[in-house]
Structure 1
Amino acid sequence: MQAGLKLPDVTFRTRVRDEAVGGPNPFRWQDMTTADYFAGKRVILFSLPGAFTPTCSTYQLPGFEKMADEFRAKGIDDIYCMSVNDSFVMNKWAQDQGLNNVKVIPDGSGEFTRKVGMLVAKDNLGFGMRSWRYAAIVNNGIVEAWFEEPGRGDNHGEDPYGESSPENLMKYLDAQNAAVAAE
């Protein structure tokens, strides 16, 4: 994916809390589309190999959660974390991480990830098909800036992290705001 391209149209199968369902697990299915998440907003989307995995749970997701107010001050409306995991896993991970600012998007079948060219095999770790680690700033469904970890490929022996870090996206936003201020 690169700057200037439109995100693919995909329907995501999500589970949302609905007290009307009742019982010990009051959730219902709700389809959400690319437009539901991205239309009319400037957002950060970051994707990672899997919920509950070390780098994702220790650095990337918590970093975006902690820096959410700073991102909002730079004109970001929402922050989304996507993974090739189902909605049950993503919701439990969000709960486990105590998220208040970052919203999770389940790409359970990997359709969105495949359409943006980031689906890779992680069979070497027993994961199957997963997302390569990346982040993007998306403005009204159009990629404004793309941050991809180096070395994308199937069964990569390492898990590079840095390009898609919240700190790196903040550097981009700071530079962009400085350029606008200089005009």
Structure 2
Amino acid sequence: MIRTFLLKQDLGRCVVLGLLSWTLLFTCCTSPAEPVAVQAAKRTTGTRTYPSLLGADASNRFPAAVDVSKLGTYPARTFSGGGYFYDEVLEYRVWVYTPPQGEYFRAFATYASAVRFAHQTAGAQAPCVLVRQHEYVDEPEAGTFVKVHTERLTEWQPEWLAGSKRSATRLEQFLAEKSRARK
């Protein structure tokens, strides 16, 4: 299942057809057991170069996406980092830049699939993870922590997932610890 989205409406028909042809090429090269998606995007943030985590346990280190039927349907432009806690892993993303296609990302259900793709693809960056936060911690200034009750989507480095799953009391415990440390 691959979906392609264009963020610029003024792209010529040949660009759209080229992107769709490219998408079909990846469809043929992808195992049907590995759900993926492609989304074209014009990014306003800088280049990501996260260290990749390779190893025998890479597929078990990180949780899989909560709903593979929604891969690639989330907005390309999201927050980047922050929040200290996450509620759901939505997808793993590999951002790629190639002159013919420009900048786009490909979405994966698992970290291991994203790493394999990143290492086999010219112009690919290390995988990042898109997470949903129902509540999160904001740090408006160094040492000041505020609980925010707004849902948001943000891209994280996969390494940040370890120990960051929000529970009913985890966020409050974190804030209490930080408050005690300031006194």
Q: TM-score range by the shorter chain?
A: under 0.3
TM-score (norm 1): 0.28
Q: RCO (CA 8 Å, sep 6+): is it higher in 1 or 2?
A: 1
Q: Which has the higher helix share?
A: 1
**Which has the larger Rg?**
2
